[in-house]
Amino acid sequence: MRSDQMKKGIERAPHRSLLKALTYTDEELNRPIIGIANSANEVIPGHKHLGDIAEAVKAGVRMAGGTPMEFSTIGVCDGIAMGHRGMKYSLPSRELIADSVEIMGTAYPLDGIVSVCDCDKIVPGMMMAMLRLNIPAILVSGGPMLAGRIDSRAIDLITVFEGVGARASNKMSDEALRQLENEACPGCGSCSGMFTANSMNCLSEALGLSLPGNGTVPAVMAKRLRLAKTSGMKIMELVAKDIKPRDIATGKAFENAIAVEMALGSSTNTVLHLPAIANEAGIKLGLNLFNEISERTPNLCRISPAGEQHLEDLDAAGGIPAVMSELNKKGLLHTQLITATGVTVKENIRAARNLDPKVIHPIDSPYSPDGGLSILFGNLAPDGAVVKKSAVDKSMFVHEGPARVFDSEEEAMKAIMGRKIKKGDVVVIRYEGPKGGPGMREMLGPTSAIAGVGLDRDTALITDGRFSGGTRGAAIGHVSPEAQEGGVIAVVKEGDRIRIDIPGKSLELLVDREEIEKRLAKWQRPDYKVKEGYLYRYAREVTSASTGAVFKKD
């Protein structure tokens, strides 16, 4: 066993003595040691209950003959960090989480690891660590929050964000906004729509790194704890068979994940996280691959914010296995791949059924014949930009309008809330990328405010920053190269015409090439906005959004 490095032989008597101070017996130490990386805390609604999830995992490990050892990681709630300095730390926290799990999994030579997590950057950070360590591993999420309710209407966190814009434009009273605030988030779990956390938990199933149900079983259900116990037992099987993450998350497995992503119409942030996770296994996921898979993969689901359903509805309809079963009817998946269940994708979805065609459209009657995300290229985004096509009104699929240029989220929010943005405008928010932000803030505030004031079907928003999975409307993010790196977005001027063509996958600044080159020649790189601490180190080391915003390898 790998753990023998710290517990076997005469020379390890001091090590055993320290472990016995933790109350472990000789019998426990003779068993495989399973690390439980638990990101539980009391500042994220999706993580408050993870102590219970971890206890269930540990019970499963013990039932299957292993010894669990729990340790913790940090975590940031994007919703609570939104709109202030804290959001600069959200994406950078992904790298710290991966590093911390790597450190613990190496300082203590574990035989296997179970990652217990739930929310935005914690899930991909855990999966990055799993592939980096490459010891038997499985991911267990805390599950999605239930949708809130007002009368018969399902609501969620995005309803509240959009309510802020509605209140600012006097379309909603203080009392109505307070009711949304009180009812939208009814309890623990990751926010209930197809936002980043739930998108990544669903894609962990598609990658094969978690058990079926991991992405959709609600946090409050007993089934969630049973799933955690089963995962604890299953890690022991993976250890016995020496099935490691890189055996599971192969290039073809990432193709499966992208196909499921397109069927779901998941968060644009997945286009940051999947390449970053793949990078840990030496797999390059170019942005063109996302478009190639999108072109052949129909969009089957419209979960909030793209539609009215929530994760609990997707779970009741059969969950990710049912989505994969629909895709497999057209041969759109690689089904012979091994997964964390110990068997293949084909075996995992053999008994899956689509129990609600209103939630999961049948493969022969999809919402659209292509996927829910699109990567756009053009002179404004030579290395790519991403849009959640499934959440864009069709009237905005092709749009041309004047640029309204802002050098920060705060400037843009002030203009939106001050009713200075008009129908047809293309709001450009720059210097919010990985380096320029720094930290590539998630800007749910501006997109929700635009929706709240009723301009989401008339106004586009383009940024080198990123958006929440809860964003809807013609919101195009991850523009690469970013402004801080001298991308063309840095030289867009107020009033320049910008053309968006989502079906044509293009994003163009309608200024002639010679003029763009003149502007770039005069452009001077600004200083980093932050010059100390972790963010300063992050800004110097992080790469482009088009490569997953990972750290430089040299």
Catalytic residue annotation: 468
Work out the angle between the directed axes of helices 174-183 and 157-168 (0-180°, nearest 10): 170
- Cα–Cα dist 298/320, whole Å: 15
Beta strand segments in 275-406, E: 374-378, 381-387, 398-406
Joined together, the tokens standing for residue 340 give 């964390």
Nearest Cα to Cα of residue 295 among 504, 545, 546, 506: 504
Q: Torsion angle, CA of 63/65/69/74, rounded to 10 degrees?
A: -60
Nearest Cα to Cα of residue 478 among 405, 386, 409: 386
Could you tell me the CA-to-CA distances from 546 to 87, 259, 271, 368 in Å, in that order?
20, 19, 8, 26
User: 471 in helix, strand or coil?
Assistant: coil
DSSP secondary structure string, 316-351? HTTHHHHHHHHHHTTT-S--S-B-TTSSBHHHHHTT
Nearest Cα to Cα of residue 476 among 382, 544, 375: 375
Work out the angle between the directed axes of helices 444-452 and 409-417 (0-180°, nearest 10): 10
The CA-to-CA distance between both ends of the chain, in Å, stands at 33
Provide CB contacts within 8 A for 261, sequence distance 6+. 199, 203, 206, 270, 274, 371, 372, 373
User: 475 in helix, strand or coil?
Assistant: strand
Could you tell me the CA-to-CA distances from 174 to 167, 413, 451, 486 in Å, in that order?
7, 20, 18, 43
Using DSSP bridges, classify how beta strands 153-155 and 137-141 pair: parallel, antiparallel or unpaired: unpaired
Using an 8 Å Cβ cutoff, are 533 and 443 in contact? no
- Cα–Cα dist 207/204, whole Å: 5
Provide CB contacts within 8 A for 337, sequence distance 6+. 208, 248, 250, 252, 253, 256, 344, 345
Using DSSP bridges, classify how beta strands 112-117 and 33-38 pair: parallel, antiparallel or unpaired: parallel
Joined together, the tokens standing for residue 542 give 């992080």
Using an 8 Å Cβ cutoff, are 160 and 126 in contact? no
User: 376 in helix, strand or coil?
Assistant: strand
User: 489 in helix, strand or coil?
Assistant: helix
User: 505 in helix, strand or coil?
Assistant: coil
Q: What are phi and psi of 324, to 5 degrees?
A: -65, -35
Q: Torsion angle, CA of 115/121/127/130, rounded to 10 degrees?
A: -70
